[in-house]
Amino acid sequence: MTSRKASPSSNAREAERGTMNGEAESIPLSALQHWLFCPRQCGLIHVERIWRENLFTAQGRVLHASTDKKGHEQRKGVRVLKAVELFSARLGVHGVADVVELHGHPPRPVPVEYKRGRPKAHRADEVQLCAQAICLEEMMQVEIPRGFLFYGQTRRRKEVRFDTELRELTARVAAEVHELMRSGRVPPPAYDKARCGPCSLLSVCRPRRMARPPSVSRWLERAITGSGAPGT
């Protein structure tokens, strides 16, 4: 495992682009996914710029290795573009799509995002994909009704329809992340075993400890009974 004060490859590419082009008020697409997964995780990564790698993030990085290089190819009559740079002025987001397929005539872009695990109960992956579609719509002046999430564990694609509800959720999440970045305040932790267990920031966040900080009375009690006080 490695530990560093930086970002993983896709986050780094997104962050670099935003800075290089002077799009300071633009947020990385991945931040939307992080926010829906856990607002504190989003704050730690995008406000504090802290990143820790664990087994799950490393697996995700390996999965993305094949789509991280810019390029294009033809697969079963479909033109496939890799590592496509994206930007939306409306949402104020920027990033990189793993894959954009061009279907039909005239060619219609269909975003495809690669994920390590399996379909989840929350909508973080769908929101990230929908934001990519909104970027492509704005950049190419087309309507994009659907995209796909490819999950490494199931080795299957899941179709995602970009309906009004998902588009509204995506716009709302983008606005919430902008507010987070403006405030610069990292939200407090909310411990959830299923969510925090695989989180690579668990050791930095310490959600159980932060949720129940040592009280002054417990500190005094330990100091008086000699069982040790914090910092001793």
Question: For binding to ligand SF4 (CB under 6 A), which residues are involved?
Answer: 38, 40-41, 44, 189-190, 195-196, 199, 201-202, 205, 207
Closer Cβ to ligand SF4, 133 or 201, answer by number: 201
Expressed in percent and rounded to 5, the helix, strand and coil fractions of the chain are 45, 25, 35
Say how far apart CA 49 and CA 47 lie, in whole Å. 5
Say how far apart CA 27 and CA 208 lie, in whole Å. 29
- In whole angstroms, the minimum distance from the beta carbon of 191 to ligand SF4 comes to 6
Closer Cβ to ligand SF4, 98 or 125, answer by number: 125
Name the 3-class secondary structure at 206: coil
- In whole angstroms, the minimum distance from the beta carbon of 207 to ligand SF4 comes to 4
- In whole angstroms, the minimum distance from the beta carbon of 112 to ligand SF4 comes to 27
H/E stretch holding 149: strand 146-151
Closer Cβ to ligand SF4, 51 or 162, answer by number: 51
Closer Cβ to ligand SF4, 173 or 199, answer by number: 199
- In whole angstroms, the minimum distance from the beta carbon of 189 to ligand SF4 comes to 4
Say how far apart CA 98 and CA 71 lie, in whole Å. 11
